[in-house]
Amino acid sequence: MAMLRELQSGRVVTLHAEHLVGRSRRCDLRLDAPAISSQHATMRWTGSRWVVRDLGSRNGTLLDGALLPAGEHPMQAGMTLHFGTESCGWVLDSAAAPVPVAAPGNDEGPSIQGVEGLLVIPAAPASPVVNVYRNTDGSWIAEWVDGKEVNVGDLELIQVEGKAWRLHLPEYDQATEQAASEGPNLDNVRFVFDVSRDQEAVRLSIEFGSESWDLGERAHHWMLFLLAKARDEDKDHDPSEHGWVYSDRLVRDVGMTEGTMSVYIFRARQQVAACGVEGAQSLVARRKPTRQVRFGGKNILIRQH
């Protein structure tokens, strides 16, 4: 994620996909100084890089000491920004891609930060209610535990349990996605399920080359194990049909409700995404018309102890 650091105080700000700077309450970075305009400048992620634009401010914006003319201008890590006055200096410590963020609609309370391609509302340890995830075509979808899905966009407001959240959602760039695919993703990691002989305990770990992540024993790992087992047993059939399970059967086998199943899916996605695995939003895929689900990983090892 991109980080902006104030030179004078050392304060660090995480940049949203589009970050408005100024004195107004509407601004993401509020700077209360006479030289700062109400809406002074904006920094934006284009899908491949960060750009900055002065919004016609009274005292201007400087990038590495040069006054910005009209239009958007690319930024790189290490560059300095001054808004309105040389005393208001900031440095771009990181120019990494932004992560999805949900900010309180009333500007009160902390924001919720997601990981690449996935945002869970509300924040842990509260039970998840909404998964906001990036679809394969680059669009963003909000999925509720009751199965409702809607397309959402950057700066859109959604209501979650009576509270409004404003979404800050990065744009999608195919080149960025291809570069990221060299790291761990659903296709190139191995999911290792260690299952007790009585099948009452399931421990999950993820392996990628010399790296590994031990995810421990969780209630949702039993559900993942059943889906992974179904996919592994279907590996000699048509790949497009590997491992699809009717959700009512899964609910019956695990002994849970449909709502609990959705919560488990959300938690599993979040746990795998926290390991830096690309595509974690597809860890459990759904076929809405047929009410089927399947495990999204392809490389599976099941060990019984």
Q: What is the DSSP letter of 139?
A: -
Residue located via tokens 């007790």? 196
pLDDT on residue 109 = 81
pLDDT on residue 305 = 83
pLDDT on residue 294 = 95
pLDDT in tens, the chain (305 residues): 789 999 989 999 989 889 999 999 889 999 988 999 999 999 999 888 999 999 999 999 999 999 999 999 999 999 999 999 888 899 999 998 888 999 898 767 888 999 888 999 998 888 999 999 988 788 899 999 988 999 999 889 999 999 999 999 987 665 555 555 578 999 999 999 999 988 789 999 999 999 999 999 999 999 999 999 999 998 777 778 889 999 999 999 888 998 999 999 999 999 999 998 988 999 999 888 899 999 999 999 999 88
Give the number of other CB atoms < 10 A from CB of residue 269. Answer: 27
pLDDT on residue 173 = 60
Do 80 and 89 form a contact (C-beta atoms < 8 A)?
A: yes
Q: How far apart are CA 248 and CA 129, in angstroms?
A: 20
Q: How far apart are CA 281 and CA 131, in angstroms?
A: 9
pLDDT on residue 79 = 97
Torsion, CA 161, CA 163, CA 164, CA 167, rounded to 10: -60
Strand-pairing partners, residue 231, are: none
Tens digit of each residue's pLDDT (9 = 90 or more) over 171-180: 766 555 555 5
pLDDT on residue 108 = 76
pLDDT on residue 234 = 84
Q: What are the strands of the beta sheet with 140-144, ordered from one edge?
A: 118-121, 130-134, 140-144, 149-152
Do 40 and 83 form a contact (C-beta atoms < 8 A)?
A: yes
Question: Mutual orientation of helices 258-273 and 247-254 as an angle, nearest 10°?
Answer: 90
283 phi, psi to nearest 5 deg: -55, -40
